[in-house]
Structure formats: C-alpha cells, structure tokens
Amino acid sequence: MLEGKLSENAAPTWSGKKVWSADFSDLKSEGQYTLEIPGLGKSYTFAVQNGVYKDLGRAGLKAFYFQRASTDIEKAYAGRWAREGGHPDDRVMVHASAASTSRPEGTLISSPKGWYDAGDYNKYIVNSGITMGTLLAAYERYPDYFGSLDLNIPESGDDLPDILNEVLYNLDWMLTMQDPGDGGVYHKLTTAAFEGMEIAPTGATSQRYVVQKSTAATLDFAAVVAQAARVFKPFSPENSAAYLKAAEKAWQWAGLNPQVHYRQNEINRKFDPDVQTGTYGDENLRDEWIWAASELYISTKNPTYWKEVEKGSAKYTLPSWPDVQWLGYYSLIRHGENLEHVPAEWLSGRKATLVAEAKRLRQEGARWSYLAPMGSSEQNFIWGSNSVASNQGILLLEAYHLSGDREFLQSAEDNLDYLLGRNATGYSYVTGFGSSSTQWPHHRLAASRPDLPPLPGFLAGGPNPGQQDGCEYPSDIPDESYTDAVCSYASNEIAINWNAPFAYLANAVNAIRSA
C-alpha cells in the first residue's frame, strides 16, 4: 500500500474542471491496484506492470486488419469479429468527373483491397497517404521492434514484418488508383452517397466510382509509394523498382497539373451522379510538394527533388491530413546522416525547431489540469482531436530521440495516458481497453454487429466542440465535448489516420520502455 497527499493542478481558463493528482511513481511492484480517496470512494482497478502497453500497441495495428476491404476476415485472426468480405471492388466505375480518352465515363476498372477509411466504407487517397506515411515511419524508426511484432494476420510468418504485411494490403490498392496512362491518381474510390449505418460490408453493394484525379492525391501517392520503394527494397527489389517508377510518374503528372483540386460541389454541378461522401479537400499544396519531394529525394538521391524540399517552410506544424510537410522533414531527419545534398545546417535547424516545439508543448501542457501536452491549447480540440494527441506524442518521442531528454518521453506517455482515460470525460478512447472505454463508435463494421462489443483497438475521434453531427453532447467545453453515441461522427468516429499515430505512439512507448 502507498499513501500520499493529492495535489491540486492548474486549470486553464477554458477548462471546466478542477483536478487533483496523485503521484504513484514510488509504486514499483507489479500488481492490480485501486486508488482510494477517503470520503470520495475507490477508483477502477488498474495494473502496474512491465510491458503494460504491449497488447494495446498490437491491437492498435490489428485494427487495420479489421478494416480490410475485399476479403473475408477469418475467425483464426479475428475471433468473434470474423465476418464475410464485402466490396470486391473489381468493377469500379469511372465517374464522369474522371473520364479520360483511355478511360471514358462508365469504364469499369479493378481496384480491390485497401482499408475502409473510417466508420464509412469508402477509400480516400489523401487520408490513406498520411496513414501509410505514419505506419512506414514507425517501421523505419523502430525496425527491430516491429520486425518481431506478430499481429496474427493471414500473412504472419512470411518474410515480411507484419506491420509491412498490413501496409502492403493498402499499398496494393493505392497502386490501382493511378491512371496507368498519365500517372495521375484518382482522389477517391467511393459510393455516391454514404451507405446506411447498420449495413454490413456484404450488404453494402451500391455502385462504387473512382472520381476526378487531383494534385493532392497524386502528391500524397508519390510520397507514400516512394517511401515504400525503399522500405520494401530488401524484401523485393523488383517491387521496389516498380514503386519508384510509379512514384516518379505521379510526381511528373503533378508537375504538369499543379492546381487540380477536388471540388465536390463544382463537380456535382457538372456531372451525374452527385457524390456526397468525404471530400478531403485541401487547396494549399505547399506541404504536399515538400513531403513528396522529401520521400523521392531520400529514395532516389536525385538532387532535383532536394531543390524542391529547400523551398519548404521552416515553421513547425503538426502533421494532419491537410498538412504533411513535417512527415517529409521527419523522414529527412531519420535519414539525414546519409544524404549528401542536405546541408548540415539545414538538418540541425529542423532538429532545433522540432525540439523547441516539443518543449513548448511540454511547458504549456504542464499548466493544464490533466498535465499532458494535449491540453497545451484549446485549439487542439478539433474533429479527430485524439489524433492531435497522438501526433504530438510522435513529435515528443522524436524530441526524446534527438535530445536524449527523458522528460520528452514522459510527456509522450502523458498524452498516451490522456487517450486512455486521464482526461475530462474519464473515457478511455480506445475500444476494448480500459474500465470505461468507447462502446458506440460511429463505425459501420461495429454498428452492423450490435450483438458484439465494438471491434477492439480503435481510437475514437475524441472531444470536438464543433459538434458538426448535431448529436446531443453532455458539454460544450472543448475537452468535454464528446459523446459515446453511434450518431456522433464528429466526436466518436474511428479513422485510419487517427489509428496510425495512436498505434505508432503506443508501440513506440512499449518498444522504448521494454528495451
């Protein structure tokens, strides 16, 4: 037993709660514990244990297996969440907005595999982009750890690490989204309208389309496929060469078509049928150019790409689907020592910026009620806010690796604690983990099986005072604006670009702590 006094935490003006904390750093023996506060009662039971994040990290990656389109999800790998496959996507129609001479409107193409984006069943290149970049970066950063992480998926036991087996499943799909004629990449593969909420994949049979190519999708594709070219090279030199070719062809298309934006409203005014699904519209492509150029430069060493990277901004911005510049910089920092065209001052400048930003988050976060960088600003609570906490975690881990300062590691873990329940709602936002976790995600795979608990290992979007879904929320306060209800796509959906940084963070902390 350990006894101690509670200390009162600071509360920023926008936060609604007064919070006290208890420090259990002195507790070193493994076991199951509860916290008792006289007059207030007992907490949930919690574990103090080495390797406490192991299952969590694995589940965060296994979630991608559950999201696979075009295949049966088998009992041997999925247990009670086994299901029949849907969306073969072998007869996808070229939408009028995507028509070209070689592929006129109505042409049927084959574009199977890949992951469902989120709670919906569509597949969007822009969002696949950051997701794949994050998972490939996780592998490049911790190759030994991921090299031996078994996810129990159909490919387990083959020559590839499982994280790469999973990535390959989506890469195979992404490659089919490139028009072989000109190298441009379709923005998304989608039904015209969202399918109903309770429909299982087998019942979701509306016609699927590829829509207009876009510069954003094409650059994100170039970045991912160039990165994949070097990561998969030791396992398959032939595939690697083909990836590099595809990435360069995409880059060239973007050069000839630098301003082709996906504007759904304009497209719907011109063409039938109307497309009403996720837009992932982003018209500021400065960062997409930098990311693509960075990955292409690292994989080819061609100085033309480096010249492009040099035009990038020095300012730190946290990665998100519309802002991918620092995915490129992270990669350059990881590979920096081996890149002959990158001046030492450029590299040290970016590293200093990264560490300074991590420090700022740590200091601001320490003034928040829940003592985590996530509370450094109320602006962090946006649609998918839990991915902000996760991506901050990745930044803090990079700062730890660059500086050796263990306080950054601690801060990264503070954000992981935030996601697991040390927050204003008391929820663990990861399905299947914790005593009080998300039960009703906006997730068609889960909503179509109300007889089962939600599929495990998924991170809910998290508090979002925007409340764009019009559902009922218990509070308007930024960090409490969360509702565990299926209707809430603005606070309780799941998405691949949120699970990727979460899985990165949980596995990286596990890798470092158990090393």
Active site residues: 484, 493
Stretch that binds ligand G3I, among 21-29, 55-63, 381-389, 407-415 (CB under 6 A): 381-389
Among 169, 306, 330, 489, binds ligand 9MR (CB under 6 A): 489
* CA–CA separation, 304 and 300 (whole Å): 10
If binding is defined by CB under 6 A, does position 118 make contact with ligand 9MR?
yes
Stretch that binds ligand G3I, among 94-102, 367-375, 379-387, 393-401 (CB under 6 A): 379-387
457 to 486, contacts with ligand G3I by CB under 6 A? 468
Tell the smallest beta-carbon distance from residue 489 to ligand 9MR (Å). 4
If binding is defined by CB under 6 A, does position 162 make contact with ligand 9MR?
no
Tell the smallest beta-carbon distance from residue 288 to ligand 9MR (Å). 22
Q: From the list ligand 9MR, ligand G3I, none, which binds 179 (C-beta under 5 to 8 Å, kind-based)?
A: none
384 to 413, contacts with ligand G3I by CB under 6 A? 384
- Beta strand pairing status for 92-94 and 209-210? parallel
Q: Using the minimum distance from each CB to ligand G3I, give the nearer residue, 387 or 510.
A: 387
SS3 115: strand
Residue 273, preceding peptide bond in cis (omega within 30° of 0)? yes
CB within 8 Å of 409: residues ≥ 6 apart: 396, 397, 400, 509, 512
If binding is defined by CB under 6 A, does position 119 make contact with ligand 9MR?
yes
Q: From the list ligand G3I, ligand 9MR, none, which binds 194 (C-beta under 5 to 8 Å, kind-based)?
A: ligand 9MR
If binding is defined by CB under 6 A, does position 120 make contact with ligand 9MR?
yes
Q: Select from 259, 338, 324 the least CA-distant residue to 293.
A: 324
Token pair, residue 430, equals 């990861």
If binding is defined by CB under 6 A, does position 77 make contact with ligand G3I?
no
If binding is defined by CB under 6 A, does position 382 make contact with ligand 9MR?
no
Secondary structure of 226-286 in HEC code, one letter for each residue = HHHHHHCCCCCHHHHHHHHHHHHHHHHHHHHCCCCCCCHHHHHHHCCCCCCCCCCCCCCCH
Phi, psi of 27 (to 5 degrees): -80, 110
> 332 and 354 in contact (C-beta within 8 Å)?
no
Stretch that binds ligand G3I, among 218-226, 227-235, 289-297, 487-495 (CB under 6 A): 487-495
Q: Using the minimum distance from each CB to ligand 9MR, give the nearer residue, 9 or 464.
A: 464
Among 121, 423, 493, 510, binds ligand G3I (CB under 6 A): 493
Question: What residue number has its CB nearest to ligand G3I?
Answer: 278
Q: Using the minimum distance from each CB to ligand 9MR, give the nearer residue, 197 or 366.
A: 197
**Euclidean distance between the first and the last CA atom of the chain, given in angstroms as a whole number:** 28
If binding is defined by CB under 6 A, does position 130 make contact with ligand G3I?
no
If binding is defined by CB under 6 A, does position 280 make contact with ligand 9MR?
no
Q: Using the minimum distance from each CB to ligand G3I, give the nearer residue, 158 or 198.
A: 198
Q: Which value, in Å, is the radius of gyration of the alpha carbons in the chain?
A: 23
* CA–CA separation, 148 and 163 (whole Å): 10
Q: Using the minimum distance from each CB to ligand 9MR, give the nearer residue, 152 or 279.
A: 279
How many residues at the interface with ligand 9MR, by CB under 6 A? 8
Q: Select from 441, 413, 440 the least CA-distant residue to 57.
A: 413
* CA–CA separation, 445 and 454 (whole Å): 9
Question: What residue number has its CB nearest to ligand 9MR?
Answer: 120
260 to 319, contacts with ligand G3I by CB under 6 A? 278
* CA–CA separation, 144 and 140 (whole Å): 9
Helices (H) and strands (E) in the chain, counts: 16, 11
How many residues at the interface with ligand G3I, by CB under 6 A? 12
* CA–CA separation, 197 and 33 (whole Å): 39
Q: Using the minimum distance from each CB to ligand 9MR, give the nearer residue, 96 or 197.
A: 197
* CA–CA separation, 454 and 446 (whole Å): 5
Stretch that binds ligand 9MR, among 29-37, 115-123, 134-142, 433-441 (CB under 6 A): 115-123
If binding is defined by CB under 6 A, does position 93 make contact with ligand 9MR?
no
If binding is defined by CB under 6 A, does position 118 make contact with ligand G3I?
yes
* CA–CA separation, 156 and 165 (whole Å): 8
Token pair, residue 207, equals 């016609």
> 278 and 117 in contact (C-beta within 8 Å)?
yes
Phi, psi of 326 (to 5 degrees): -75, -15
Tell the smallest beta-carbon distance from residue 278 to ligand 9MR (Å). 5
Q: From the list ligand G3I, ligand 9MR, none, which binds 197 (C-beta under 5 to 8 Å, kind-based)?
A: ligand 9MR
If binding is defined by CB under 6 A, does position 194 make contact with ligand 9MR?
yes
Binding site for ligand 9MR (CB under 6 A): 118-120, 194, 197, 278, 489, 493
Binding site for ligand G3I (CB under 6 A): 117-118, 120, 278, 322, 382-384, 468, 489, 493, 495
